[in-house]
């Protein structure tokens, strides 16, 4: 089992409880989809798993080294001061040793899209580049926070395909996703998907 | 002119190296949206030095530098706290904060005339008045910082991107978790910044940090982060190499404003 939690409770950084106790588990080869309305603590759960102190209580077993976890948070919009292309985004993270064509992850972007500036790329192009960046860490556990926000259907499908390919690309891998969208998981029957709804355990405000 | 260049050779070398190193640091600070923080920290450093001179005497001892550094760290921590705590109009907070420290500096300068000349010198700075010994020392330090920036430019740019794109989660990302040594490099760059303010002055340091990167980014063209970094260093190094000899030849030209203007022109016109 990659992640196992019993009697977990979430709270805000200043101690205000967000949820009652709940359990979660994620096995290798599985995807865990964390669902819930705004403010239920979905993103807080991820931050707690990744080691942010004071937001997660209970018994948590994380059987993946921190270095083998790739996390793609929700990104802030706005213009980056440095004139960064999408190709350079990968290069500053992973170095220039990566030849684009050698990695199947790169197929998420068309060749001409690699030279686009970060500041002029569309939301979908940025998200795909960020997902490639996360996948190239070759993680055991991939954690994505709202990867479908503000994306068109084509981008959503491409991202879902990349997630499935990642899961099936090696043994011992798992994916955890926080998402409002729940339609894309039904496209494939061969990927076991667990669901955790925080709506059922939320503490009323 | 040749004689002047012979006399000020060390100052020109020191200025070029410091300007290039500062311009590369400025690229990262601008990318992290830390320009207002830097203004406040720089003023805090100056205030700390002035307090140190008032308390311990001559500026040549190391005690004022230590009080300056402590004040810079305090102001740096305060600006980070403001960034995390205040949700609206952060730049207004920084402007108010900057003006308060500036006012504090001038109050100290008025109350203690012994520090007023130091205040004027450090605020505007003058590359020509840096001693030969200090020029060579700062050249070595700046060359080391330049080497550090060249070696780790990729990692620093990556950190800048993560802090821009994921400001609340940057510390949880893979690259931050597996590269804690980047913190040590960032602390070294912070110390160098404080050092540069004391040696070359506030105006020169801030100009070198932000003029080249800002004016280069105004130009449209193909994206290229490596080209931008290299150009920033080149523009600022050249600006000192052209600007300083120019001010040595024309007595009425002030050094640092001339260098800053040359840097802006080079950034706009460099092919």
Helix, strand or coil for residue A31?
A: strand
Instruction: Copy the structure tokens of residue B104.
Output: 């504090």
Cα–Cα distance, A11 to B113 (Å, whole number) = 55
ipTM of the complex as predicted: 0.87
Instruction: Copy the structure tokens of residue A48.
Output: 């707690």
Q: B34: nearest CA in chain A?
A: A81
Which domains, ranges and CATH numbers included, belong to chain A?
A: 3-76+84-200 (3.40.50.300)
- Measure in Å the smallest separation between the Cα of B140 and chain A Cα atoms: 28
Partner A contacted by B149 (CB < 8 A): no
- Structurally, how many domains does chain B consist of? 1
- Terminal Cα-to-Cα distance of chain A (whole angstroms): 34
For residue A48, with 0-12 CB atoms within 10 Å meaning exposed, 13-18 middle and 19 or more buried, which class applies? buried
pTM for this one? 0.89
The tens-digit pLDDT sequence of chain B (271 residues) is 677 778 888 999 999 999 999 999 999 999 998 999 999 999 999 999 888 888 887 656 778 888 999 999 999 999 888 888 876 788 888 899 999 999 999 898 889 887 887 787 777 777 888 888 889 999 999 999 999 999 999 999 999 999 899 887 777 776 666 577 888 999 999 999 999 998 899 999 999 999 999 999 998 778 899 999 999 999 999 999 999 999 988 888 999 999 999 999 999 998 7
Instruction: Determine the structural domain holding residue B101 and report its residue range.
Output: 2-269
Q: Do B33 and A81 touch (CB under 8 A)?
A: yes
Cα–Cα distance, B129 to B143 (Å, whole number) = 20
A-chain residues within 8 Å CB-CB of B31? 80-82
Residue A160 DSSP class: H
- Tens-place pLDDT, residues A72-116: 998 877 789 999 999 999 999 888 765 666 666 777 888 888 899
* pLDDT at res. B210: 97
Q: Do A117 and B223 touch (CB under 8 A)?
A: yes
Q: Do A88 and B168 touch (CB under 8 A)?
A: no
- Give the relative orientation of helices B9-31 and B132-151 as an angle to the nearest 10 degrees: 40
Nearest to A119 by CA among A180, A153, A78: A78
Strand order in the sheet with A22-26: A22-26, A3-10, A56-62
Using CB atoms, pick whichever of B157, B169, B222 lies closest to residue A92: B157
SS3 per residue for chain B = CHHHHHHCHHHHHHHHHHHHHHHHHHHHHHHCCCHHHHHHHHHHHHHHHHHHHHHHCCCCCCHHHHHHHHHHHHHHHHHHHHHHHCCCCHHHHHHHHHHHHHHHHHHHHHHCHHHHHHHHHHHHCCHHHCCHHHHHHHHHHHHHHHHHHHHCHHHHHHHHHHHHHCCCCHHHCHHHHHCCHHHHHHHHHHHHHHHHHHHHCHHHHHHHHHHHHHHHHCCCCCCCHHHHHHHHHHHHHHHHHHHHHHHHHCCCCCHHHHHHHHHHHHHHHCC
* CATH code of the domain containing B78: 1.10.3470.10
Q: What is the mean pLDDT of chain A?
A: 86
Partner B contacted by A12 (CB < 8 A): no
* pLDDT at res. A182: 64
Given CA atoms B57, B60, B63, B64 in this order, what sign does their dihedral have? positive
Nearest to A111 by CA among A119, A122, A100, A123: A100
Partner A contacted by B83 (CB < 8 A): no
- Tens-place pLDDT, residues A153-202: 888 888 888 888 888 888 889 999 998 766 666 656 778 888 888 888 88
Q: B169: nearest CA in chain A?
A: A73
B-chain residues within 8 Å CB-CB of A130? 165
Partner B contacted by A127 (CB < 8 A): no
- Give the relative orientation of helices B9-31 and B225-249 as an angle to the nearest 10 degrees: 140
* pLDDT at res. A54: 81
């Amino acid at each position: 089992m990659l992640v196992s939690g019993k009697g977990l409770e979430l709270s805000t950084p200043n101690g205000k409880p967000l949820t009652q106790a709940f359990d979660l588990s994620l096995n290798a080869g599985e995807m865990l989809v964390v669902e819930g309305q705004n403010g239920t603590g979905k993103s807080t759960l991820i931050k707690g798993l990744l080691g942010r102190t004071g937001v997660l209580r209970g018994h948590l077993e994380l059987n993946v080294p921190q270095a083998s976890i790739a996390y793609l948070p929700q990104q802030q919009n706005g213009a980056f001061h440095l004139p960064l292309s999408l190709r350079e985004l990968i290069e500053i993270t992973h170095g220039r040793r990566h030849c684009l064509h050698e990695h199947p992850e790169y197929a998420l972007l068309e060749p001409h899209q690699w030279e686009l500036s970060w500041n002029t790329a569309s939301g979908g192009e940025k998200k795909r580049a960020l997902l490639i960046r996360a996948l190239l860490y070759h993680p055991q556990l991939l954690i994505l926070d709202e990867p479908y926000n503000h994306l068109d259907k084509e981008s959503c499908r491409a991202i879902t395909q990349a997630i499935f390919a990642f899961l099936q690309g090696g043994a011992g891998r798992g994916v955890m996703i926080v998402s409002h969208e729940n339609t894309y998981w039904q496209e494939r029957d061969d990927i076991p998907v667990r669901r955790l709804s925080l709506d059922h355990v939320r503490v009323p405000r | 002119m040749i004689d002047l260049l012979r006399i000020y050779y060390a100052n020109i070398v020191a200025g070029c190296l410091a300007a290039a190193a500062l311009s590369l640091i400025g690229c990262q600070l601008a990318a992290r949206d830390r320009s207002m923080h830097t203004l406040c920290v720089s003023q805090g450093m100056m205030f700390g030095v002035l307090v140190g001179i008032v308390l311990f005497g001559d500026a040549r001892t190391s005690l004022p530098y230590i009080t300056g550094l402590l004040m810079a760290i305090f102001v740096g921590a305060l600006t980070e706290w403001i960034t995390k705590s205040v949700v609206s109009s952060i730049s207004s907070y920084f402007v108010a904060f900057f003006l308060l420290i500036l006012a504090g500096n001038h109050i100290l300068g008025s109350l203690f005339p012994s520090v007023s000349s130091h205040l004027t010198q450090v605020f505007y700075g003058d590359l020509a008045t840096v001693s030969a010994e200090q020029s060579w020392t700062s050249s070595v330090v700046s060359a080391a910082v330049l080497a550090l920036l060249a070696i780790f430019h990729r990692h620093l740019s990556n950190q800048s991107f993560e802090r821009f794109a994921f400001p609340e989660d940057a510390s949880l990302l893979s690259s931050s978790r597996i590269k804690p040594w980047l913190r040590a490099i960032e602390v070294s760059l912070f110390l160098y910044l404080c050092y540069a303010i004391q040696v070359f002055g506030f105006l020169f340091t801030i100009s070198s940090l932000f003029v080249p990167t800002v004016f280069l980014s105004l130009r449209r063209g193909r994206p290229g982060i490596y080209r931008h970094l290299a150009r920033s260093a080149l523009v600022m190094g050249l600006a000192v190499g052209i600007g300083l000899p120019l001010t040595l030849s024309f007595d009425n030209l002030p050094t640092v404003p001339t260098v800053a203007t040359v840097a802006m022109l080079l950034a706009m016109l460099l092919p």
